[in-house]
Amino acid sequence: MERIVFLERKTIDAHFRRPGFDHEWIEYPETTAGQVVDRVRDATIIISNKLSLGELQLSNARDVKLIAIAATGSDCVDLNYCKERGIAVCNVRGYAVNAVPEHVLMMILALRRNLLAYRADVQAGLWNQSKQFCLLTHELHDIRNSTLGIVGHGAIGKAMAGLGESIGMRVLISEHKNATKVREGRTSFADTLRQSDVLTLHCPLTDQTRDLIGSDEFQMMKRSALLINTARGALVDDAALIDALQNGLIAGAGLDALREEPPRHGNPLLDLKLPNLIVTPHVAWASREAVQTLADQVIDNLEGFIAGRPQNLLT
């Protein structure tokens, strides 16, 4: 019988059907870092989300054979250690191919149309005092015929490209930063930065992508460009982004991820009171439809593994 331990049940607001194999199901609403070792000690299958799982947490979990990440990102799990131990790791994929691109589009629309700035002006009574029927205090820009640069061409990046094209945007798919060769259908990283009116990030956080966008990159971007990051906070250098926003190196930014989540110790980006910065609390993925798809896929992953047909494996 399998002993399934779900460490962070409250992070997934969806129904989880029980797997169709003999098992014991143990779930915890949340788990602190200090509780992990004890809770996984006798597990054969671990379901996790954002908790760190590596040698420190797993060395005494001698029976664990599968870690099922209830997310796509795997940077919280030490894949090398798991591979050495023979622990299979799987993730969920494609569940947010509608949710995340729609969230990105929402941010693009709000920033290109200066929605927050206009809302603040109306609340301040500026429209009441206008000598014209309308209040034109901020620039407005169309999306159609603008250029969308996409960094990261997995399932969500591909879906974002399709959405961008459907509303008349010219889409560029970025080559890897520092790549020596540009693949067919891609645009060099530098040229993507230079040409994009909107740059949106959909790549995983790795040693190669950490601080992918910093001071040098902001200098290359159009002064009228937007940066959207719904992937991982550490893809962007916070200090460089603050400088870019405060000094007009870019026109605005939309963020759905920060370096520390939740930002219990604060974050300087949250202190900025700028109408051209939108920060949402890592919810781009979390439409009701997407979350249920995620939950169903987690169980599919478990059943496939036990049946000898593993899927979505990372190790």
Reply yes or no on whether 41 is catalytic.
Answer: no
Mean pLDDT of 126-139: 96
Give me the pLDDT at residue 218, please. 98
Question: Is 312 part of a structural domain of the chain?
Answer: no
Please tell me whether residues 67 and 141 are part of one structural domain: no
What is the model's pLDDT at position 232?
Answer: 96
Residues 91 and 108 in one domain: no
Catalytic residue among 41, 102, 282, 303: 282
Total domains in the chain come to: 2
DSSP line for 203-226? ----TTTTT-B-HHHHHHS-TT-E
Q: pLDDT, tens digit, for every residue of 244-292?
A: 999 999 999 999 999 999 999 999 999 999 999 999 999 999 999 999 9
Is 107 part of a structural domain of the chain? Answer: yes
C-beta of residue 242 within 8 angstroms of C-beta of residue 268: yes
Does residue 313 fall inside a structural domain? no
Same domain, residue pair 210 and 301 = no
Judge whether 311 lies within some domain: no
The string of DSSP letters for 225-283 reads: -EEEE-S-GGGB-HHHHHHHHHTTSSSEEEES--SSSS-TT--GGGG---TTEEE--S-
Q: Are residues 165 and 201 in the same domain?
A: yes
| pLDDT attached to residue 12 | 96
Check residue 184 and report its DSSP letter.
T
- 261 flagged as catalytic: yes
Residues 133-191 pLDDT 10s: 999 999 999 999 999 999 999 999 999 999 999 999 999 999 999 999 999 999 999 99
Local confidence band at 205 (pLDDT 50, 70, 90 cut-offs)? very high
Question: Looking at this protein, which amino acid is placed at residue 275?
Answer: P
Residues 111 and 230 grouped into a single domain: yes
Residue 310 has a pLDDT of 97
- Does 211 lie in the same domain as 143? yes
In this structure, the answer to whether residues 181 and 241 fall within a common structural domain is yes
- Name the active-site residue from 39, 103, 202, 232: 232
Q: Are residues 120 and 222 in the same domain?
A: yes
Q: What is the pLDDT of residue 120?
A: 96
The CATH number of whichever domain residue 70 belongs to comes to 3.40.50.720
| Band of residue 194 on the pLDDT scale cut at 50, 70, 90 | very high
Q: Are residues 106 and 79 in the same domain?
A: no
User: Across all residues in the chain, what is the average pLDDT?
Assistant: 97
pLDDT digits (tens, 9 = 90+) for 83-104: 999 999 999 999 999 999 999 9
153 is catalytic: no
Q: Is residue 314 in a domain?
A: no
Q: Which is catalytic among the residues 261, 264, 289, 309?
A: 261
> Do 293 and 153 share a domain, yes or no?
no
Residue 257: how many CB atoms within 10 A of its CB? 21
Domain span including residue 206: 99-279
pLDDT in tens, 29-47: 999 999 999 999 999 999 9
Question: Residue 121: inside a domain, yes or no?
Answer: yes
Residues 107 and 211 in one domain: yes
> Distance of alpha carbon 157 from its chain centroid, rounded?
11
Query: Residue 14: inside a domain, yes or no?
Result: yes
Alpha carbons 116 and 226: distance in angstroms, whole number: 15
Q: What percent of the chain has pLDDT over 70?
A: 100
Distance (Å, whole) CA 212 – CA 3: 40
Q: Which residue, 93, 98, 69, 95, is CA-closest to 82?
A: 69
pTM: 0.91
Please indicate, yes or no, whether residues 30 and 124 belong to a single structural domain of this protein.
no
